[in-house]
Structure formats: structure tokens, C-alpha cells
Amino acid sequence: MAIFVTQNRFFCVISKMLTLRLIYESFGFAWKALRSNLLRTILSLLGVTIGIFAIIAVLTLVDSLEKSVKDSLNSLGSDVLYVDKFPWDGGGGGRDWWKSYIKWPTASYKEYRFLKSNLQHASAICVYAEIGNVRVKRGSNSIGRINLTGASDGYDKVFDTNILTGRYFSEAELNAGRDVIILGYQLADKLFPNGENPVGKIVKIKNRGFGVIGVLAKKGKDAFGGEGEDYSCLIPYDAIRKIYNTGTGRWYEFNTRSIIGLKGISTDLGLVELENETRGLLRVKRGLKPTEKENFSINRPEAILKIISGVFDVLSVAGWVIGGFSILVGGFGIANIMFVSVKERTSIIGLQKSLGAKNYFILFQFLFEAIFLSLIGGLAGLFLVYLLTLAPFGSLQVILSVKNIVLGLTVSSLIGVIAGIVPAALAARLDPVTAIRAN
């Protein structure tokens, strides 16, 4: 029994040594082929290099852009539902949009109060209205195209409202709809340059004076290079209702509609209970019969990401198609190198086989060589992608992930196997006597 175990260990050691020898010799032959026919080899590997670069570059850009978009959407909250008249995924568009959604009533302040009093699975709730293209003035300074949000109680709990200077609205200011305002970081900087503290100063919107009580922390650029959140401002919900029409449900007041935000609780996974509870309460509040279709939409931030992910999928497929053609050409190039290599080393193959080399030894020798050559092309392509990550893309941070590196090396290895298997099989099946006599 002891002799049998010793023999097994001996054969395992011999097998490992043979494998290492195969790899070493294959690497040596591949390096020799590179050095002796440098231009031919580079031109042959160029297809693999370009193909791997095209595929991994597109996947890297798509992954980086998707991550950036997800980070930007985090401001909407991953555990937040939105009651709106319009579905964020388009709802199919076309006739449904004009015949149904456009006629649906806007979420109202009364519905917000009703939900706030009856919801059991919400940790916070608010109603808000956003107005775009607003002009904010301070003395002779005037900045247009500002996003103005009217926020109710609970807005700072539903959304990430980080105050840099000053404070958030008090309960009395919200209930009375007082003319107070919180400015975005860049908006405050432009209206109050040279480090001037805006808190306590007055700004005007539609010739109505608002006292500044706070400044939001800097958000920076989003995935699309915009700084919308830094050029925005908040006022109480009842204050925005004094100067704009909100919650009327009129079709031409699309930009001034109210939306109810609902933040879930930690125990409600997927916000299933909150969504079902909200749907039931709103049907009761709007007097809908069991057979009647709902005239409101409960939206999730994932709906936006789902639409964007479809675009990313198309880009990824395009990268695979473009890179696939280049890799196909590169595969033929590597196969050509291997056929030439077999022809040049026919006599060596015959000598090896006459000395006892098995067919699988010759097969793996040439197969490993093809894989090494393909990996060299793949590594060159990955190096080009790495250089791409060093290029400036504005606010987009391009990162070459380990997943994409492994994918690039795997695809390169597969191309090497496919391109080298036929030449390697032909080399392994050569007759040793005929091979030795070959010139």
C-alpha cells in the first residue's frame, strides 16, 4: 500500500514537471516566433489587439457610465416611491399618454395629508412641486434657468438634503408658507460672490422677496456633466403655491404638477407593503370603484435606470460586434503563424517523436504557443484600454475593472485555442520518419 502511494506521488511529480516543461518550451517557441518574424507577428496579432480593445473599451465605458448614472440617481433614493400622474417609464406612450395620463389628476396636497395620516409602512412622506427655468435675482445679479422646488414637511427626510450653511425650514415656516429660501451651492456662490454669507440676505423670485436661511452642500457634476442640483433652490410648498399653480391637474401645467414622495421602512423589502398600501388608500381617496382603472402612477427610481440600461445593453452588443470582426481577423492571423511554425519545425517535431514524445506533448506544445501569442495581443489591447482610462472625460470616471480584465484575457485565450487547435493537431499527427526527412 505504501509503495502504491509512493508511486502515485512520483507520477504526480513527473506530470507537474512535464506540464511546466510544456509551458516553458511553448513560451520559448512563441517568443522565438515573435523575435524572428517581428513584423509578421505584430501584423497578425493586430486583429486580436484591436478586437480586445474595442470590446473591453466599450464594456469599460458602459460600466463606468452606468455606475455614474446610478450614483446620480441615488439622490432620488433607493427606498422611495413617487406618486405622480405620469409613469416614468412612459407607460407605453402613444395613445395611452394622450388619452389617459394627460387627463389624470395631479397628486394634491389633500392626498398628501390623507396618506400621511393613514400610511403604516412609510417612515417619511412629503409633497413637492418643481418649477424649471426660474430666474433668481439679488440686487443687480440675476441668474436664470434655475430649478425651484416647493417642499413640504418631511422633504428633508425623504431626500438627501445636506445643509452646508444655515438650517432647514422650521415647522412654523412650512405651515405658514413663509417667504424663506434655501439656495444651491453654485447659485449662492454666483449671487453672493467673494465669500459673502448669504444667510439673512434677500433674493427675489417673480419680484417676491425671499429671505435666505440656508445653503445646500455642493453636489458636483452628475453623470451627464450637469450641475442642476447646485443651481437649484428650495422654498416651502405653501410658498410656491402662492406664485405658481400646483396640484390643479390641468394638462398645460405639466411643469408645475405636485408629486408625493414616500420613504419606506427597513423591514419592508422591495417596498411591496408600502406600494400596496398606497395604492389602496389612493383608490379610496379618489373614489375609484373596484372595476375602475387607477388614475395615478406609483413610480420607482429603478424605472429610469431600466430604460437607461436598455441603451447600455445596445452599446455593449455593438462593442461585441465591432470587436468580434477584428478578433476573427486576428484568429486567422494566429492560425497562419501556427501553420508556418509547424512547417518550419517539422524536422524538430520528427526528432522529438523519435525520442519518445507523445502526440499530446506535441499537440499541447503548439496549442500553448497559440494561446501565448493570442494573450500577447490581448494584453496589448488591455494596455490600450488602460491608457484610455487615463484620458479626461469630464465628470465621468472611467475605471478598468478586474471583471473586464479577466474577460479580455479569457476571450484572448479562447481565440488562441480555436486558432491553434488545427495546426497543433496536424503537428501531433505527423509521422516521425517523414518529419525528420523534411527540409
Specify whether the CB–CB gap between 388 and 398 falls below 8 A.
yes
Close Cβ partners of 229 (under 8 Å, ≥ 6 residues apart): 75, 184, 216, 219, 222
Residue 251 has a CB neighbour count (10 Å cut-off) of: 12
Specify whether the CB–CB gap between 303 and 89 falls below 8 A.
yes
Specify whether the CB–CB gap between 363 and 342 falls below 8 A.
no
Specify whether the CB–CB gap between 349 and 423 falls below 8 A.
no
d(CA 186, CA 219): 9
The predicted structure's pLDDT at residue 222:
59
Residue 180 has a CB neighbour count (10 Å cut-off) of: 21
The predicted structure's pLDDT at residue 43:
75
* The C-alpha cell that represents 418 in the structure block: 480555436
According to DSSP, the residues that pair with 124 across neighbouring strands are: 263
Q: What is the largest CA-CA distance in the chain?
A: 103
- Phi/psi for 154 (5° steps) reads 95, -10
Average pLDDT of the chain, as a whole number: 81
The predicted structure's pLDDT at residue 316:
81
Whole-angstrom CA distances from 188 to 159, 195, 214, 219 are: 20, 10, 9, 13
Give the pLDDT band of residue 76 (cuts 50, 70, 90): low
Specify whether the CB–CB gap between 78 and 364 falls below 8 A.
no
d(CA 304, CA 75): 13
- End-to-end, the C-alpha distance of the chain in Å comes to 51
pLDDT, tens digit (0-9, with 9 covering 90-100), for 306-317: 667 777 778 788
Whole-angstrom CA distances from 230 to 66, 104, 110 are: 22, 32, 31
Specify whether the CB–CB gap between 131 and 148 falls below 8 A.
yes
The predicted structure's pLDDT at residue 223:
52
Give the pairing of strands 122-138 and 202-205: antiparallel
Over range 232-249, report the average pLDDT. 81
* The C-alpha cell that represents 267 in the structure block: 423591514
Tell me the whole-structure pTM to 2 decimals. 0.64
pLDDT, tens digit (0-9, with 9 covering 90-100), for 368-420: 888 888 888 899 999 999 998 888 776 677 888 899 999 999 999 899 899 88
